[in-house]
Structure 1
Amino acid sequence: MRRLVYLACALLMIAQPRLSLAQGSGPTPELANRQLADPAKEKAASQVMHALRCIQCQGQSIADSDAPMAATMRAEVRQQIADGKKPDAIRQWMIERYGEWVSFEPDMKGSGLLLWAAPLLLLLLALFMARGLFRRKS
């Protein structure tokens, strides 16, 4: 029985570093924290990074986040800019990969339309309810 416990402990000690790498705490991608040499390309990359939400932090852009996932996303944006892709194409690629939620500026179609219209719909509902409330009292 002891041998089985020792074997299980040894296997866990061997597997532990691999498990931690599987959770996104591996090495930081090369372009995550290093700017591109061309200032115009870096500016374009920065604009894209400020328009994308970190999927791990939820409230920060990938440019402002220190999360490992944000570093991976920053490196991907910089790599695609360096490869000559347009910022709109990169933003669309990120949306296709991570969903509409990753964008701070959702499109005006599909679920994005609901996000843009929700405040107006809630205001109209509140006015309608207030009107009914005031009619009852008078």
Structure 2
Amino acid sequence: MLAHIEDAHGRVPFAVVSGSTRESVTASLTALGLLDRFETLVCAGDYTRAKPDPEGFLLAARRLGVAPTDCLVFEDTALGVQAATAAGMAAVRVPQHRILGSLAQEPDHAAVERLLPLLDRLEYDQRGHADPELREEILHFAREVRARPM
């Protein structure tokens, strides 16, 4: 995922939508060396209704100048997927790493690997709209991944 963010920076607009404070999000992205890769951060305090309400995602799309239907959300919670879907955006659930005793739950790397080539081809016109055919291909993929049991 991090390599894709690096590769697509400047071609595909990126945002972070988080229920965490701006300070926390900024510190995390700074530690990863990614803060400058995101055009906007939508954090606690920027919106009033928490996920599953779509307000945060809609604000991010507005700030990016991208139509919600042209957005693809990577989300680590069911509430976040619900919020993105309510905003009219495609969403892919990528679970956080959680350690349960000595077991680690990994995200579905195969699904992400299938998605990256599609994202590499995604470009926006001056009105903030993506190619409709490619958008449909990505939406189809996101629905397929969403239907998988977690």
TM-score of the aligned structures, taking structure 1 as reference length: 0.28
Larger radius of gyration: 1
Q: Which has the higher strand share?
A: 2
Q: Which has the higher helix share?
A: 1
